[in-house]
Amino acid sequence: MLRSFLLACVALVACNLPPQSGPDAGPNGPLCGNGVLDPGESCDTGIAAGMPGACPTQCSSGPCPTTLVGAGCAALCATAGNASCCGNGQVEPGEACDDGNTNDFDGCSSDCRLERALILKSVQLLPGDQGCDLDGDGDIDNALGGSGNTLALAYFSSWYTGKLASCRFRSIWVMRGADPTMQASWTMMFEIGQDATPGADPFSGGEPFMVLRSYADPLRVPVPGRAPGGNITAGPVAATDQPLPYCWTTPVLDVLPQRISHVTLTGTLTGDATALATLDGQYCGARALSSMRIWHSFSGDGSFLDMVAIGFNFGGYVFTPTQPDVDVDGDGLERLIDTDGDTRIDLCLDGDGAQITGLDCPSDPRMADAYSEAMGVHAVGAQLAGTAP
């Protein structure tokens, strides 16, 4: 007990000392643990390496332990480019916030950036003459929108918007940055959110949501962006994953993993320093074949991919047969074929000419190409309330 008390006292004294530097090094290099910031050290708490409260990695990298607070500690951490002791409850240089922990999705991220959230409320598939130039040839790329007629695009838009509203699980977009209004640089992550107060209006703008940890993949590629004056410019991102909630019956949750490439987002962002209010914009990208295959068709027989690739015509709802138009893997565009006339894809031709047979062929890893698409999106603000299983 006495030993632990003495170590804690030494740590607090050392971390509140102003940073020092100088040739205080023995024949084998800097003296880690002497309380002096020697050349080659990023911090030195005055405790011998390996002891409780010592700087990590022999004083050579990483921030001071977050349990050690004070101006001296912040200065020591800043020396090696680690501008803060994130998680100690004090907002120090380089931090936008510090809530005393290193948790994500509670309003202040694990690296002490502000977090703001939006939930997707509605989508609208745009016609083929609207969208983005994904390949730089000067033409709009929107094969998905170009394949469907007005009735089909409107039906799909209404159908999935209804699915977004049918359960308390939402597509929640988490923005992280130093500016509370998110007009300056930020990154956006696509997550699954669970309404923390079932029965309340999920689109009120102040509804608290918990992010489902089981879908919060730390390796997911974020979308970088800015919104100066509320005008959003985000992306492009070569490829990222987006989990989409999908509920056949409330509150049963199914999640459709979506692989999207060439992602861009433009539009308008509103809000203030306390919360975001709305996002209205246009999303462009290219959706992988395997992602489209797990969407059900209008009729329930086959998949949405079958409808687009093979064609669909019923009651005025029409999809003209359309092949993938984005060569994601660089081996040439792939083709999807129905060999027996049952409106189901059963033969896939890889860009290099390889033939893959069977109803599952669009999910083969070699079939990496995609359909370009463009959607109008509307999202409203939400509060972050931490995480749920």
User: Using one digit for the tens of pLDDT, what is the confidence trace for 190-240?
Assistant: 999 998 888 888 888 889 999 999 999 988 999 999 999 999 999 999 999
Q: Which pLDDT does position 32 carry in this prediction? A: 61
Residues of the chain where predicted confidence (pLDDT) is lower than 50? 1-29, 57-75, 78-83
User: Are 228 and 138 in the same domain?
Assistant: yes
Are 68 and 122 within one domain? Answer: no
pLDDT at site 74: 47
Tokens matching residue 226: 């800015």
Rg of the chain taking only CA atoms, in angstroms: 26
Please tell me whether residues 251 and 378 are part of one structural domain. Answer: yes
Q: Answer yes or no: is 354 within a domain.
A: no
pTM: 0.79
**Nearby residues of 80 by Cβ (< 8 Å), 6 or more positions away:** 42, 43, 61
Concatenating the DSSP letter of every residue in 100-158 gives SS--SSSSB-TTS-EEEEEEEEEEEEPPTTSSB-SSSSSS-B-HHHHHB-HHHHHHHHH
Which pLDDT belongs to residue 49? 52
Compute the Cα dihedral for 183, 187, 192, 194 and give only its sign. negative
Q: Can you list the positions of beta strands (E) in 272-320?
A: 276-288, 312-314, 317-319
H or E stretch covering 381: strand 370-388
339 within a domain of the structure (yes/no): no
Domain-located, residue 50: yes
Long-range pairs for 195-198 at CB < 8 Å and ≥24 separation?
195/168, 195/169, 195/170, 196/385, 198/168, 198/251
Same domain for 148 and 256, yes or no, is yes
**Which one of 31, 56, 78 terminates a domain?**
78
> In this structure, are 383 and 251 located in the same domain?
yes
User: Do 208 and 253 reside in the same domain of the chain?
Assistant: yes
- Segments forming the whole domain that contains residue 203: 114-296+373-388
- Asked if residue 121 is part of any domain, the answer here is yes
In a domain, 143, yes or no: yes
In a domain, 303, yes or no: no
- The pLDDT score that the predictor gives to residue 335 is 98
Q: How far out from the chain centre does Cα 232 lie?
A: 16
Residue 258 lies in a domain: yes
For the residues of 257-269, what is the DSSP string, one character each? Answer: EEEEEEEEEEEEE
* Closest by CA position to 192, among listed 235, 246, 234, 124: 246
Whether 74 and 125 share a structural domain: no
Within this chain, do residues 248 and 178 fall inside the same structural domain, yes or no?
yes
Q: Is 148 exposed, middle or buried (0-12, 13-18, 19+ CB in 10 A)?
A: buried
In a shared domain, residues 145 and 271: yes
Give the pLDDT score at 252. Answer: 74
Q: Residues 151, 14: one domain?
A: no
In whole angstroms, give the CA distance from residue 306 to residue 312: 8
Residues 217 and 280 in one domain: yes
Q: What is the pLDDT of residue 193?
A: 93
Q: Are residues 74 and 120 in the same domain?
A: no
Tell me if 31 is assigned to some domain.
Answer: yes
The domain tally of the chain equals 2
Point out the domain boundary residue: 78, 103, 131: 78
Tell me: the pLDDT tens digits for 36-92?
666 656 566 666 555 555 555 444 444 444 444 444 444 455 444 444 577 778 787
State residue 26's pLDDT score: 42
| Alpha-helical segments (H) within the chain | 2-15, 71-78, 143-147, 150-165, 289-293, 304-310
> Domain boundary residue among 57, 78, 99?
78
